[in-house]
Amino acid sequence: MREQYGEILKALGKLVSFRTVESSPEEDAPFGGEIRRALRYVLDLGESMGFETVNYDNYLGEIAWGEGEELGVIGHIDVVPEGDGWHTPPYEMTYFDDRVAGRGVTDDKGPTLICLYAMKSLKDAGVRPRRRVRFFIGCNEETGWKDIAYFTASHRFPRFGFSPDGEFPVVYAEKGPNKLEFVFSYRGRFTDLKGGVAPNAVCAYATVNGPVDEALLKKHGLTHRGTLIESVGQSAHGSMPELGRNAIHPIVSYMLEMGEPVQPLLDLFEDRAEISKQGNFTGHATISPNIVSQDASSIRLTVDFRVPAMMKAEDFFPRFDTLGIPYTCFKSRDPLYVPQDSEIVVKLLAAYNEVMGTNEAPVSQCGGTFASVFEQGVAFGTEFKGENCHIHEPDEILTYRNVDIMYRIYRRALEKMVTE
Domain boundaries defined on the chain: 2-175+335-419, 176-331
From residue 384, give the alpha-carbon distance in Å to each of 67, 173, 339, 348.
32, 16, 22, 15
Q: In angstroms, what is the C-alpha Rg of the chain?
A: 22
SS3 196: coil
From residue 4, give the alpha-carbon distance in Å to each of 47, 64, 116.
17, 20, 12
SS3 163: strand
For residues 170 and 345, give the distance between their C-alpha atoms in angstroms, rounded to a whole number.
7
> What pLDDT, on a 0 to 100 scale, did the predictor assign at position 1?
59
Q: Residue 16 burial by CB count (10 A; 0-12/13-18/19+): exposed, middle or buried? A: buried
Give me the tens of pLDDT residue by residue for the chain, a chain 420 residues long. Answer: 577 899 999 999 999 999 999 999 999 999 999 999 999 999 999 999 999 999 999 999 999 999 999 999 999 999 999 999 999 999 999 999 999 999 999 999 999 999 999 999 999 999 999 999 999 999 999 998 999 999 999 999 999 999 999 999 999 999 998 999 999 999 999 999 999 998 989 999 999 999 999 999 999 999 999 999 999 999 998 999 999 999 999 999 999 999 999 999 999 999 999 999 999 988 999 999 999 999 999 999 999 999 999 999 999 999 999 999 999 998 777 899 999 999 999 999 999 999 999 999 999 988 789 999 999 999 999 999 889 999 999 999 999 999 999 999 999 999 999 999
Among 318, 307, 344, 302, residue whose Cα is nearest residue 143: 302
Q: What do you get for the CA distance between the two ends of the chain, in Å?
A: 24
Q: Residue 40 burial by CB count (10 A; 0-12/13-18/19+): exposed, middle or buried? A: middle
CA angle 201, 205, 211 (to 5 degrees): 140
Q: Which phi-psi region, left, alpha or beta, contains residue 120 (left: φ > 0; alpha: ψ -120 to 50)?
A: alpha
Strand bridging mode 60-65 / 363-365: unpaired
Burial profile 250-289: b = 16 or more Cβ within 10 angstroms, e = fewer: bbbbbbeebebebebbebbbeeebebeeebeebbbbbbbb
Phi and psi angles of residue 419, each rounded to the nearest 5 degrees, phi first: -120, -25
Q: 389 CB contacts (<8 Å, ≥6 apart)?
A: 105, 106, 107, 382, 383, 396, 397, 398, 399, 402
Cβ neighbour number for residue 416 with a 10 Å cutoff? 16
SS3 293: strand
What's the CATH number for 176-331?
A: 3.30.70.360
SS3 340: coil
Cβ neighbour number for residue 295 with a 10 Å cutoff? 12
Strand bridging mode 69-76 / 131-138: parallel
Among 373, 181, 398, residue whose Cα is nearest residue 291: 181
For residues 410 and 418, give the distance between their C-alpha atoms in angstroms, rounded to a whole number.
12
SS3 139: coil
Q: 146 CB contacts (<8 Å, ≥6 apart)?
A: 30, 31, 59, 140
Q: pTM for this structure?
A: 0.80
Cβ neighbour number for residue 319 with a 10 Å cutoff? 16
Q: Residue 339 burial by CB count (10 A; 0-12/13-18/19+): exposed, middle or buried? A: exposed
Burial profile 177-216: b = 16 or more Cβ within 10 angstroms, e = fewer: bbbbebebebeeebeebbbbbbbbbbbbbbbbbbeeeeee
Topology adopted by domain 2-175+335-419: Aminopeptidase (3.40.630)
